[in-house]
Amino acid sequence: MRLYPLAVAVALLPQITINACYLWAASLGHVDWCIPYIHSCTSISATGRQLPENLLFTGLMIPAAVMLGAYWWGNVHWLRSLGCQRRRTLRLLLIMGVAGACALILYCVALGHIGSLYHLQRRIGVTTFFGTSFLGQLLLIHLLQHCSKLSAAARSSLALLQRSAVLILLVGLASVTIAAISDDYYHRTDDAFEWTFGLLLCLHFLITAKLWWQTDFRLSFRSDR
């Protein structure tokens, strides 16, 4: 069974969910109408904070988080199939990936609840998710560069993966720079950075799906009987 549809789902399901929830929340008057990637009118959390859109948000994002954990598990086995023998680094990649998936679940569970403890839980969840996911992507790129069985076509996609990582890094650095220069301007733009950062992370997953397809990565089942 070819596994690239899993990576496609990991890339597309979160984006479909947050954008659908935004449209639903805006139609109900729970958030303002705008282009959140540009106008920074609302956070991702706000699109799934109130009922009934909260049910759609948690109902789709928690399964997406489970698939994200499976995606990182798949990456470890994929890298091994490509000749990567760095066991400790592969173990670290899996730990970071699973940590990011668990953090996303933690964030979803706390969404919609009121109180400082739930706010802290959401902040820890979303920060850990973004941080470990990006670090995992950097580590994935590093390991792919040392895979002996990567074809020329796949290496072309690897270059695209590297460019997307640079773009994510630039967005993160821009956000940090704005926060250092003007706290007021940062609070007026931080939501747009969050939307953009999430979109670029999902783009990275989509490029990985292309690599899984190019290398014909498959899951097989075997019985001794």
Q: Write out pLDDT tens, residues 163-217.
A: 999 999 999 999 999 999 998 998 999 999 999 999 999 999 999 999 999 999 9
Q: How many CA atoms lie within 13 A of 223 on its CB side?
A: 1
In terms of Cβ atoms closer than 10 Å to its own Cβ (0-12, 13-18, 19+), residue 20 is middle
Tokens representing residue 191 in the block: 């939501």
Q: Name the β-bridge partners of 218.
A: 2
Residue 190's CB is within 10 A of a number of other CB atoms, namely 15
In this prediction, residue 209 carries a pLDDT of: 96
pLDDT at 61 over 80: yes
Q: 122-173, pLDDT tens digit by residue?
A: 889 999 999 999 999 999 999 999 887 888 888 889 999 999 999 999 999 9
Q: Is this model's pTM higher than 0.85 or not?
A: yes
Q: Name the β-bridge partners of 2.
A: 218
Q: How many CA atoms lie within 13 A of 118 on its CB side?
A: 10
Which of 79, 105, 58, 68 has the alpha carbon at shortest distance from 201? 68
In this prediction, residue 120 carries a pLDDT of: 87
Rounded Cα gap, residues 68 and 187, in angstroms: 29
Q: Which residue has the tokens 């799934």?
A: 48
Residues 10-29 have a mean pLDDT of 97
3-state DSSP assignment of residue 114: coil
Note the Cα 67 to chain centre separation in Å. 11
Q: Which residues contact 185 (CB under 8 A, 6 or more apart)?
A: 178
Q: Give long-range contacts, CB 8 A cutoff, 24+ apart: 24-29.
A: 24/52, 24/53, 24/56, 25/50, 25/53, 28/53
Residues 108-114 have a mean pLDDT of 87
Q: How many CA atoms lie within 13 A of 200 on its CB side?
A: 23
In this prediction, residue 221 carries a pLDDT of: 64
Residue type, 86: R
Residue percentage of the chain with pLDDT more than 90: 81
**Average pLDDT value for the chain:** 93
pLDDT at 225 over 70: no
Confidence band (pLDDT; 50, 70, 90) for 118? confident
Q: Give long-range contacts, CB 8 A cutoff, 24+ apart: 123-127.
A: 126/45, 127/103
In this prediction, residue 204 carries a pLDDT of: 95
The conformation of residue 45, written as its DSSP 8-state character, comes to: G
Whether residue 193 contacts residue 169, with contact meaning beta carbons closer than 8 Å, is answered with no
Residue type, 19: N
